[in-house]
Structure 1
């Protein structure tokens, strides 16, 4: 869930009289590698409007049910920037500070001495001392806990992480970590007085009218009502049956378990461009989220920050996978443009398909002058 440096968008976001988005479905079809990528969706947004959307392929390999732009796709670690956004909202409310430590939030927990001063900002920027890979026995226990409530699962995982010594002194390195964002999510639950899912639905999804947004795998068991995740088996896409094995454990939801339609993915990108109607965060908070956190050279709060000519300077991006799906988002804040894409397989083929879709949208709607 950590391939961050890969290279969607166009439904009307504001105003009922704006032009309908361009349909790029036929253009996307050429990136699916003759069905090796079962489905691909993408969209682009410019100046507050979704200007292009497209969907091609099928929900499940071996089934003819076609995907639509309204179908829900898993976006993996793109969730991390959402957790950062939620943190910024609670900071703006005065419920927590970026400098708040895990010791302050969990005073009764027996936290390892070297972890006590890890802060919310560090945990939301991969500088909090949390290991990049979960210890195998801890991950196994987390998977086995999937029948418990999500908050209980997360509490057990957070306790196990924080009672162990950090992988490095907090604030001294940048190490990509699902565990760090999981701890941050638990901190937000504690001060927000709601579960993580309730908080993000209330504070982010509802204000942005992201009605399709939810959590975990998308399809219903024994139905082809939404896209299935796939893996490559003997060179062919193999659908993973709906159920517990179709996604990571709910404990790590703050790090990467959101699903949504490509249209709602575009709405979220538009929000971070700073041009959404009635945004749940002010411009100064968005700027903070997009600012690199030392000692990292390119990671902010759930965003990779790089320089790209097509973006006119600074570009923001992130990608995500649960090993069965892949998604990516690229934003050019100075151009008020963003492109997002998602597919229902994670492999070199899937990530390349998403990158190709985004590159196509950038070329067609931003750099070509069309």
Structure 2
């Protein structure tokens, strides 16, 4: 049994083995490896694994492997913010200028942007492709701790012209770096230690970490990311990135995508949002806010998307996807039905094959366990 300070997680007496279903999907979409898991009412009820950690090597991908969850990390960062809000250390409406004494050097459009706008991608902060096109060489030249470089990233993007009018949606990893820098300022702790303190430790996510999971040795001890070219059927393993790049990229994009976890640990975090009324992991107000779109009835909230789906009624479905280092993930949840599903493949593709594989995996999990 997985015990938790703020709830209970366990494996059901019999966990459905979905290996055959996932192998069929893996072969159909030419993925090197594929895995997934479903949790219902705090119990793991079904899981499966198929394929390999590295194309051309017989080392099997395992459901217990730590994986890079990519942008699915964003809801964890938003949850850290929620825990700090509950403690009165920051508020959703805290403006940027209160956390950056040098704010007068920033573009005036950003000075009053709030923590909530940053976490919902509505502060006008540039997207990653723009940031790296403008500042990649400068980023790699930065010295200091990850926290110091992250603050340089935050200050740099806020000196630039907004890529969209603040208030409009633009998906921005660097917006999450700014939000993390604000949290670091009010706590005097780096984002990495805040994730451990507010996510990993209280939820006993003992198989989770920050930073890229990658293994260059053969046979690999961890999944290797791959790329699948258009009109090809054999994925190509991605080479390792340099230590310098990973260090600087963690500063620039870590709060938006640098968490690694096993499927079961990841499901623990997601289920904590379902079980909150029994655990008080978050205040009721914060827990509700972290499940709703920022504007309107459907759409992006604070690290998640909320959609109306008949299978999730009487509430909404919650979802997010993540891709990083040639690895892709997705989660779908039906909170009112107590269901969490997570899916992973160690491949990225030019023709959305990995998205189709993950969708097919999620559909199997949802169709079996949501009712």
Regarding TM over 0.5, the answer is yes
**Could you list the runs of 5+ residues in structure 1 that have no partner in the other structure?**
1-9
- Unaligned regions of 5+ residues in structure 2, if any? none
Shift of 1:142: 6.1
Map 1:202-351 onto structure 2 (within 5 A): 202-223=197-218, 224-233=220-229, 235=232, 236-244=234-242, 249-251=249-251, 252-274=253-275, 278=279, 280-294=281-295, 298-312=299-313, 313-322=315-324, 324-347=326-349, 348-351=352-355
Residue number in structure 2 paired with 1:173: 168
Does the C-alpha gap of structure 1 residues 201 and 11 become closer, same or farther in structure 2, counting only changes over 3 Å?
closer
Moved more, 342-351 or 119-128: 342-351
Q: 2:106, 2:158 within 8 Å by CA — same for their partners in 1?
A: yes
- Give the whole-Å Cα distance in 1 for the aligned partners of 2:221 and 2:66: 10
Cα shift at 1:346: 1.4
Q: Secondary structure at the match of 2:37?
A: strand
Equivalent-residue separation in structure 2 for 1:123 and 1:356 (angstroms): 32
What's 2:368 paired with?
Answer: 364
In 2, Cα distance between equivalents of 1:17 and 1:260: 18
* Cα shift at 1:15: 6.8
Pick the aligned partner of 1:76 from 41, 46, 70: 70
For residues 27 and 146 of structure 1, the distance between their equivalents in structure 2, rounded to whole angstroms, comes to 47
Distance in structure 2 (CA, Å) of the matches to 1:102 and 1:221? 41
Q: TM-score, normalised by structure 2?
A: 0.88
Give, in whole Å, the separation in 2 of the partners of 1:136 and 1:48. 41
Residue 29 and residue 332 in structure 1: after superposition, are their counterparts in 2 closer, same or farther (change >3 A)? Answer: same
Instruction: Name the Cα RMSD after superposition.
Output: 2.5
Q: Is the 8 A contact 2:29 2:354 kept in 1?
A: no
Distance verdict in 2 for CA 1:57–1:198, change over 3 Å: same
CA distance in 1, matches of 2:193, 2:273: 21
Partner Cα separation in structure 2 for residue 213 and residue 263 of structure 1:
10
Distance 1:17 1:270, change over 3 A: closer
Aligned to 2:130, what secondary structure does the other structure show? Answer: coil
Report deviation, 1:140: 1.8
CA, structure 1 residues 302+228, in 2 after alignment: closer, same or farther (shift >3 Å)? same
Residue equivalent to 1:3: none
Sort the Cα spacing of 1:35 and 1:282 in 2 relative to 1 into closer, same or farther, 3 A. Answer: same
From the superposition, tell whether residues 37 and 18 of structure 1 become closer, same or farther in structure 2 (CA, over 3 Å): closer
C-alpha distance in 2 between matches for 1:319 and 1:17: 25
Q: How does 1:93-108 map to 2 (within 5 A)?
A: 93-108=87-102
Q: Match of 1:159, SS?
A: helix
Rounded to whole Å, the distance in 2 between the matches of 1:78 and 1:177 is 13
Distance 2:139 2:357 in 1: 30
C-alpha contact (below 8 Å) 1:330/1:338 kept by paired residues: yes
Alignment of 1:13-32 (within 5 A): 14=8, 18-32=12-26
| Deviations, residues 49-97 of structure 1 (Å, cap 9, x unaligned) | 1211211111111111112111011111111111110000011111111
Change in 2 beyond 3 A, CA 1:65/1:185: same
- Please, what TM-score do these two structures have when normalized by structure 1? 0.89
Aligned length: 357
- Measure the CA separation in 2 of the matches of 1:154 and 1:78: 20
- Once the two structures are superposed, what CA deviation does each residue of 1:267-295 show, in whole Å capped at 9, x if it has no partner? 11211222597453233211111122137
User: For the residues of structure 2 that align with 1:239 and 1:212, how far apart are their CA atoms?
Assistant: 24
Q: Please, which moves more after superposition, 205-214 or 280-289?
A: 280-289
